[in-house]
Chain A
Amino acid sequence: MTFGNPLRLLFVRPQGRRLEYIARVSTVGLLLGLAAAFVAGALGRFGSAAQEIELIARQPAAGGWSRERIVVNQGERVRLRIRSEDVVHGFAIGRLGVEAGPIEPGKVTTVEFMADRAGEFTFYCTMWCDPNHARMRGVLEVRGSTQTSPERTQAASDVTLQHLDDPRDAGVVPQARPSAMRGLPLFEQRCAACHGARGHGTPRASAVGHREVQLDRSPADLFHMLGKTKEQQGSSEASGHGREASPALRELPAHAPFSQDWGDQQRWDVVASLWSVGTTAEQIDLGHRLYLKNCAACHGEQGAGNGPGGKYQPKTPADFTDARRMLAGSTALYTAKIRRGGMGTGMPYWGSIFTEEELAAVVDYVWGFSLGIAR
């Protein structure tokens, strides 16, 4: 077997064999053309002005997103071409407001955006696609000189955060779901004179209708406050229901003189009205949309903890209609839990995805399952 010089085979014209020569040149040209096209393509010469990134969605059991981290530069226009290899997925980037809608198998879904804020943003699947759907996340890193730090407009007290996973018990629950619609006239009749028509406060009494005021207080605290007598001021017992007063309740003034002819249900209705004036219809609508998209699969559309995804989680999802438990928590506590996640329960963390406004909206919406907040 003699190999000779391979280059000679390719480039030296065989004598009297024109066809052979043409064939050799064409074959080599074709193969070099293929290689050149590949290299050119790989170097992005076929690309467009926007940085185009291919992203493949697979169920988490099959690997999840094809890229766990996407890095772009600040100021770049980014075009994501997303396709699913199995079931219908969704795509959104938290805190950037980028959303691609359903990613149907076999179709290419394109979403384009300007990466104008530097920082790290979580992208995630927005369709319940798999028992481990919540793990289907990745990070978009926008490199730039001005890093965006996550905004934190509200913060829970240290006490609240320390007791994030403590068992909660309101001690007393309403006979029927509280109604802000019923409570608002009572509030206007008895409370508005001091606290203002919308609970925003007057020189005579503090604001009670602000979200910030309610932050560390549970509805149960407010309920007990409404039944609190002057004798109970500073006591460790809460309004005669045998429940130990929370630190927040101990600080609250006695209000029994103003509500002495109200039954328990009326007091709960007034509490519901206070939570209601602390939010807005737009906020509730936003919370509703976010809840349906991100929470309902496990917690159920009606918040009863019976969504189809719940059975795959290590612990049964929280039942937001369980008033005894829910009404003992505070807005700050629920915000912190959603932000942090369930720590072993299967509940994912949302702090890197939701903005503070979105977090607040989801909490306000969730209150509605136990408090009957009016829009």
Chain B
Amino acid sequence: MSMVMAPRPADTQKRWELTRWPIVRTFLRQRALNWMATTAALFGFLLAIAAGLLGTAAGSANFGIVFVWIVWWGLFMGALLPLGGRLWCFICPIPAPGEWLQRKSLVGPPPSGEPARLLSIDSPRAPQSRDGLSEGWRWPKSLRGIWLQNVGFLGVALFSAVILTRPSVTGWVLLGFLAGGVGLAVLFERRSFCRYVCPVGGFIGLYSLVAPVELRVRDPLVCQDHRTKDCYLGNEAGYGCPWLEQPWTMDRNASCGLCGECLRTCTKDNVAVNIRLPGSDLLVAHGWKLDEAYKAFIMLACAAIYPVVFLGPWGRLKAWANLDSLSGFVIYTLGFLVLNLVAVPALHLGMAALTRWVSGLQDIPLRPLFVALAYALVPQGLAAWMAFTVSLVFANLSYALPVLSDPFGWGWNLLGTRDVAWHPWLTAWVQPAQAALLIAGLVASIVAADAILRKFQHGRAGVRGLAVQTVLLTAETALFLWLYLGASA
């Protein structure tokens, strides 16, 4: 592979550049920014682990449960992800200690005068690992993509009824994430953990495709003429892209952690943070991959399973998911895996085949159409997860105040809020908000399906294909509406 790679072609999409303002650019280039964000988050993360492992077993009184699964999840799913894409990855404390070890530095920048830029992009070791506490191995090619993340997410989701309700389990899971982040950072280059392993990172990447924020090079032609590729290799101003992205080819949000290193290292001042139309990354055809398509199916299936298990009236199912009995959990596991890995993908495969047939696209192989149409599920899936989050957060957020004063449930009253009583918030708005989110998700998904199908077919035949997809998406939204407004009401 050549050091100089083809830059992405300039597109015509409308953008509003945030970094055109010097104050924003200067702010985002501050080296201390990442350290401050991750250290603050690490403080909360360690507190959550300690509370989970050592605090009260009552989830509603334990910082680990309340702040991870209610406060963080609400903030993450309600704002950070839909509005900021991978903004959480910028804050996330899990890879921070590993990255500090890799760099032997909390803030950096790398010591000056070292020949980082002379190393090839294909070097067996990452350039920035030459001095850090890491072996700097390349991630195995066979494990690239997000299949591992799909498996990890399925594992977490399968045990979520146990994890979300038992502080000690939450504590161990968070500790496992931290250990995984540090362990892989010591062995592998840069943020291999975030890019290829983190169970949360996979769906953040997928859903960040619809976020209205992006980091891109301003003019790809400038990069074409720039030989040193500081944004990837690093220089005195900062480190090479921790996410192993090559900004000059980047045209999707999926693997950009918004860390801002390229903003600092670009000597051509050619990197920008933009506001753009949400969802435009869904149409980047060369990004359509089966692993991401499966992630879309898994997220959609889990978005249906979660309200059934956590909000629905089906006690036996809850008991199975809660590991009340081994036989029940085995049944639940089989159902969970079949729904995620077989039933939902098979349904969409069938509908993709029908779409192909009614659209007269028989000359196109089924697989690319099947994979492409899975991206139309991204807005719908995100909306369904946001609807679930509305139920979870409004009902439980008031637990946060007493837990702030008494994170371990040991009777402390640090802020005088220990005895604030639980009360659900904005109960009258929960269902209207859920309905609005689900319908907005449906509309966005139909629009996305239309745009995706236009990449294959135009005219009346394309409309017939869109009709098939519209029926499928509408039926799925109707199911979600029933789950939130009917069965759980």
Contacts and interface: CB of A to CB of B under 8 A. Distances in A.
B35 A106 contact: no
Interface in B152-170: none
Contacts of B411: 46-47, 52-54, 79, 81
B259 to A, nearest CB: 16
A213 interface: no
Given A3-B133, A27-B39, A27-B106, A41 B410 contact: yes
Interface in B131-151: 133-135
A56 B413 contact: no
B135 A19 contact: no
Contact of B107 (A20, A41, A107): A20
Given A54-B411, A107-B421, A20 B106 contact: yes
B391 interface: no
A34 interface: yes
A31 B106 contact: no
Interface string A73-112: 0000001010101000000000000000000011110100
Given A38-B50, A41-B408, A56-B56, A108 B43 contact: no
Contacts of A1: 133-135, 186
B422 interface: yes
A24 interface: yes
A105 B414 CA distance: 22
Contact of B32 (A23, A83, A85): A23
Given A106-B422, A107-B422, A19 B107 contact: yes
A34 B421 contact: no
B74 interface: no
Nearest to B30: A19
B269 to A, nearest CB: 22
A26 B410 contact: no
Contacts of A17: 105, 107
B31 A19 contact: yes
Contacts of B104: 9
A295 B293 CA distance: 60
A83 B58 contact: yes
Interface in B45-82: 46-47, 50, 54, 56-61
B105 A106 contact: no
A85 B410 contact: no
A85 to B, nearest CB: 5
Given A23-B32, A27-B106, A108 B402 contact: yes
Given A2-B133, A19-B107, A24-B106, A46 B39 contact: no
Contacts of B114: none
A198 B308 CA distance: 67
B297 to A, nearest CB: 34
A46 B133 contact: no
Nearest to B409: A54
B122 interface: no
Nearest to B46: A34
Contacts of A7: none
A30 B43 contact: yes
B401 to A, nearest CB: 12
B193 interface: no
Contacts of B402: 108
A26 B31 CA distance: 15
B106 A41 contact: no
Interface string B97-137: 00000001111100000000000000000000000011100
Given A34-B43, A85-B60, A23 B106 contact: yes
A42 interface: yes
A42 to B, nearest CB: 7
Contacts of B410: 41-42, 54
B332 interface: no
A79 to B, nearest CB: 8
B255 to A, nearest CB: 26
A34 B49 CA distance: 12
B427 to A, nearest CB: 14
A206 to B, nearest CB: 59
B407 to A, nearest CB: 9
B60 A19 contact: no
Interface string A183-203: 000000000000000000000
A85 B59 CA distance: 8
Interface in A1-47: 1-3, 9, 14, 17, 19-20, 23-24, 26-27, 30-31, 34, 38, 41-42, 46-47
Contacts of A41: 408, 410, 412
A106 B58 contact: no
B399 interface: yes
B295 interface: no
A23 B107 contact: yes
Interface string A257-290: 0000000000000000000000000000000000
B106 A83 contact: no
A66 interface: yes
B418 interface: yes
A56 B39 contact: no
Contacts of A31: 43, 46
Contacts of A83: 58, 60-61
Contacts of A34: 43, 46-47, 50
B87 to A, nearest CB: 22
Contacts of B31: 19
A26 to B, nearest CB: 7
Nearest to A110: B419
A66 B60 CA distance: 14
A85 B166 CA distance: 11
Interface in A224-262: none
Nearest to B60: A106
Nearest to A51: B411
Contact of A46 (B46, B106, B107, B413): B413
A41 B410 CA distance: 8
A40 to B, nearest CB: 10
A339 to B, nearest CB: 34
Contact of A108 (B57, B105, B418, B423): B418
B12 to A, nearest CB: 41
Given A54-B61, A54-B411, A83-B58, 4 more contacts: A1-B133, A9-B104, A52-B411, A85-B59
Interface of A: 1-3, 9, 14, 17, 19-20, 23-24, 26-27, 30-31, 34, 38, 41-42, 46-47, 52-54, 56, 66, 79, 81, 83, 85, 105-108, 110
5 contacts: A17-B107, A31-B43, A56-B61, A66-B56, A107-B422
Closest 3 CB pairs of A and B: A106-B422, A52-B411, A23-B106
